[in-house]
């Protein structure tokens, strides 16, 4: 069973999840994802 929260954005063709990618990916079935875009954590950077 796949358990994901609500997407941050959805247009009927794509979903955007604004979460820790490691958390979201563990809840998705294998082969479902076509693209992952991440950014580095910026907390504590000066």
pLDDT tens for 1-46 read 456 788 899 999 988 888 887 888 888 888 888 888 877 766 665 5
How far apart are alpha carbons 33 and 26 in whole angstroms? 11
Residue 46 lies in a domain: no
Indicate the helix (H) or strand (E) that contains 24. Answer: helix 21-26
Domain containing 1 equals: 1-34
How far apart are alpha carbons 7 and 5 in whole angstroms? 6
Q: State the DSSP code for 29.
A: P
Residue 17 lies in a domain: yes
What is the number of domains present in the chain?
1
Let me know how long the chain is: 46
Residue 13 lies in a domain: yes
Residue 7 lies in a domain: yes
pTM for this entry = 0.56
């Amino acid at each position: 069973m796949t358990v994901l929260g609500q997407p941050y954005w959805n247009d009927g063709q794509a979903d955007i999840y604004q979460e820790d990618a490691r958390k979201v990916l563990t809840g998705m079935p294998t082969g479902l994802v076509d693209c992952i875009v991440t950014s580095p954590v910026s907390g504590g950077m000066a």
